[in-house]
Chains A and B, each alone.
Chain A
Amino acid sequence: MRDHATEFPTRTQDETHTVGCTVNGREYEAVVDPRMTLADFLREKLRLTGTHLGCEHGVCGACTVIVDGAATRSCLMLAVQADGAQLETVEGLAEDGELSPLQCAFKRNHALQCGFCTPGFLMSVTAALREESVTTEEQAREVLSGNICRCTGYTGLVKSVLEASAGKDAQA
């Protein structure tokens, strides 16, 4: 037995939702199905295809973006949940055509590898370096541990994190 005497509007599965959010400083609005993930929303609705999708269950980290300042798996969040949020994706890292210090470090150290996992690594590390500097290889490996690379080449990634962190400190 169901009691439908609720005072608030109820929804149906066919109902769509309007999502308004800011991505890399630019405002977007789109109509979505409630089951659309944030990752699909970025790629398919906003055509921001820099964010990549690997496993789609939160293990590989390829889809990592920054939501309201926190690194987040965009495959584990619904687009409707991002309504009103401030998002940062890999497209927003370079400023005026200049790569960020982290992107430069990736390029220098061959950490780009095949490139598929790269956006996720860049966003995870960007968020981590904002929280604290990384001075040891062990810390770097821990920062990288939430993202999986199938090319096996973590050495360049570790060097990049350490370099970018040291550069950040030098600038501070």
Chain B
Amino acid sequence: MKPGRFTYHSPRSLDEALATLQVYGDDAKVLAGGQSLMPMLNFRLARFEHLVDVNRVGAEYAEPTFGDTRITIPLLVRQRRVERSAEAAAVLPVLTEALQQVAHPQIRNRGTICGSLAHADPAAELPSVLSVLDATFTIASSRGVREVPAEEFFLFHLTTSLEPDELLLQVSVPRPPANQFSAFSEFATRRGDFALAGVAAVCEVDAAGVVTACRIAAAGVAPTPHRLTDVEALVTGASLGDDLLPEAEAAARAQVDPTGDIHASAEYRSRLTGVLVKRALADIRGKLEATRA
């Protein structure tokens, strides 16, 4: 058998899951979709004394809710559930676009959105998307519930602000205003692989075509989702014209300092980030024009 030995826990309620984590948290790992965890266990890159499988804590945690003011995605919502949701595509198209780039359907069928966020792989799509959607992370433990924004949730490679006894209960985002346009752009050498870099962008645009708010985050170029604040500042107050896009590309390149690896050099990743920012903004401009045509 590939994984090392562990004790398997299958709590049947949220309280039971939190109580289990309270007891074993220091030596335990939460198993949700398992699409990142199981490869690590199979390779024995990771070993845990206790595995807390949260898949049976309750069906009510497997459905997203689309409220008037917020969209909430609890811990057992599979990636494919949201990817194939017409409501999600209408309200949070950037999430749908990004999900379609996460590995393959066979992985997304089982992988959860909260699991990917809690895993916090800096090359993954969802952390950067939730960062630009202004997400709130609701964290539960037997000590209580607390909420943290995205910028306080992601700390480093595979590291979040979750304590050993805590569980990511849900992630929620404000329902975007009607004048919000978004795009997700990434480059991977083979479809479904982790991207060499990725960019999530949202812009709010007024009737005159001027961007009134902008959030852009890059994936794969820093230990956490990297907000490109210089590009955001450049874009905010401007219209998405031909002269702005090359400026945004240059600003993005200047604001990332990635590390190189066997897949791509640091220089290549910087250039790629600029190109992806330009593509995302061009995509947003196209969507904006389409609504006004």
Chain A residues proximal to chain B, CB less than 8 Å: 2-4, 6-8, 10-13, 15, 17, 33-37, 40, 56-58, 61, 64, 67, 70-73, 75-78, 80-81, 124, 127-128, 142, 145-146
**Given A13-B5, A76-B39, A6:B19 Cβ within 8 A:** yes
Contacts of B34 in A (CB 8 A): 76-78, 81
Jot down 6 A-B pairs with beta carbons below 8 A, ordered by A. A8-B20, A35-B8, A76-B39, A76-B42, A145-B191, A146-B106
Q: Which 3 A-B pairs have the closest CB atoms?
A: A146-B104, A34-B8, A57-B39
In the complex, how many angstroms separate the beta carbon of A40 from the nearest chain B beta carbon? Answer: 6
Question: Is residue B160 contacting chain A, with contact meaning CB distance below 8 A?
Answer: no
Question: Is residue B9 contacting chain A, with contact meaning CB distance below 8 A?
Answer: yes
Among A3, A13, A35, A128, the residue within 8 A (CB) of B1 is: A35
Contact (Cβ within 8 A) B6 A56: no
In the complex, how many angstroms separate the beta carbon of A101 from the nearest chain B beta carbon? Answer: 21
Contact (Cβ within 8 A) B6 A34: yes
Among B4, B16, B110, the residue within 8 A (CB) of A77 is: B110
A35 to B41, CA, bound (A): 9
In the complex, how many angstroms separate the beta carbon of A8 from the nearest chain B beta carbon? Answer: 6
Contacts of B42 in A (CB 8 A): 37, 56-57, 75-76
Contact (Cβ within 8 A) A70 B110: yes
**Given A2-B23, A6-B20, A57-B42, A73:B110 Cβ within 8 A:** yes
Contact (Cβ within 8 A) A15 B191: no
Among B1, B4, B5, B12, the residue within 8 A (CB) of A40 is: B1
By size class, the interface of chain B is 35 or more
Q: Give residues 1-24 of B contacting A (CB, 8 Å).
A: 1-12, 16, 19-20, 22-24
Question: Is residue B145 contacting chain A, with contact meaning CB distance below 8 A?
Answer: no
Contacts of B80 in A (CB 8 A): 70
Question: Is residue B51 contacting chain A, with contact meaning CB distance below 8 A?
Answer: yes
The digit string for B33-55, where 1 denotes a CB below 8 A from any CB of A, is: 01100110111000001010101
Question: Is residue B149 contacting chain A, with contact meaning CB distance below 8 A?
Answer: no
Contact (Cβ within 8 A) A77 B7: no
Contacts of B55 in A (CB 8 A): 81
